Amino acid sequence: MHRRVITFSRNVFLPLTTVCTNACSYCCFKTPVREGCVMTPAAARLTIEAGVKAGCTEALFTFGERPGEVSGFSDHLAALGYGDILDYCYDLCEYAISAGILPHTNAGVLTYGELDRLREVNASMGLMLETTADVPAHRNSPGKDPAVRIAMMEDAGKLRIPFTTGLLIGIGETPADREESLQVIAGLHRRYGHIQEVIIQNFCPKEGTEMGGAATVPTAEFAETITLAREILPSDVAVQIPPNLADAAALIRCGVDDLGGVSPLTIDYVNPEHPWPQIEELKGLLGDACLRERLCIYPGFIRKGWYPKGLAALIRRLQNQIEERSL
């Protein structure tokens, strides 16, 4: 009998800024405009280089949504020589490629034109749907409008961008809302074929936030959602859980295919109180399943050629690198 395979990506996390126009009730990632609110080019390059030396294959670029719309932010960005955070991200993606690591960018809601430009320097991209429901946790977050996020995911499909999305469980949505969210994602993939993975992420209360005293979703309910995801999503879409937030050992058998990006160097800046398990720890969580490393662009999309032609050589080299590591 063949052993079940669970995959993961070895990444390095680069939060270019934590300034954000949204104000979600559960978020501790967002910070005000202040000195040091933008990661400097020197710090970003050092992090990228350290990631390459550590064998990472993915540079995860993320930042708050539309930070340029927050008063005072543009001055800090201008001090680094940039007028737009997306220009800065583009240049750092180019640097990552030159250093030997594949960029994956999650920049919040982007227009079709912005997606089209950034896909030139990214192997894959992403945006969490979170939920199709109108929940109080998002009342001060215009970028979390489900229709806006779904429209961007559709644009990514039109552009043939290998795409990551997901649900955030326990922020006020109902089980019926979760089912609807999964059906929407499945429908987008059936139409465009671009969703490579769907993260099923459990809400973790953060001290000092509006929802800091809220309860997280029970393990049994979380397991039911994972099972539902595996039933609803097409078979070529991976179901992913974050192993630093959830009891992976208890959930693997519910239909989990992937454990996402795990970093040997950087913390999870969105959930800093939850350290990453290291690779050997992950192996111990899987029972009879086999852990296998992957790139941020899944093999099916590599075979289809859904990546910038300038990344072809790097993708081949990094694929060979992880195959040699697995021997």
Q: What's the number of CA atoms in the CB half-sphere (13 Å) around residue 67?
A: 32
Q: For residue 224, what are the CA distances in angstroms to 238, 246, 253?
A: 16, 14, 11
Binding site annotation covers 89?
no
Q: How far apart are CA 122 and CA 112, in angstroms?
A: 15
Contact of 92 with 84, CB cutoff 8 Å: no
* Strand stretches in the chain, DSSP E: 5-17, 58-63, 102-106, 124-126, 163-169, 195-202, 238-240, 258-262, 290-294
- The token duo for 240 is 């992913």
Torsional sign, CA 177, 179, 180, 184: positive
Q: What's the number of CA atoms in the CB half-sphere (13 Å) around residue 326?
A: 17
Binding site annotation covers 93?
no
Which helix H or strand E contains 73, and what residues bound it? helix 73-78
Contact of 58 with 124, CB cutoff 8 Å: no
Binding site annotation covers 254?
no
Beta bridge partners of 60: 13, 104
Q: How far apart are CA 298 and CA 306, in angstroms?
A: 10
**Amino acid residing at 259:** L
Contact of 26 with 311, CB cutoff 8 Å: no
Q: What's the number of CA atoms in the CB half-sphere (13 Å) around residue 278?
A: 4
Q: How far apart are CA 52 and CA 112, in angstroms?
A: 31
Q: What's the number of CA atoms in the CB half-sphere (13 Å) around residue 203?
A: 25
Binding-site members are 20, 24, 27
Binding-site residue positions for [4Fe-4S] cluster: 20, 24, 27
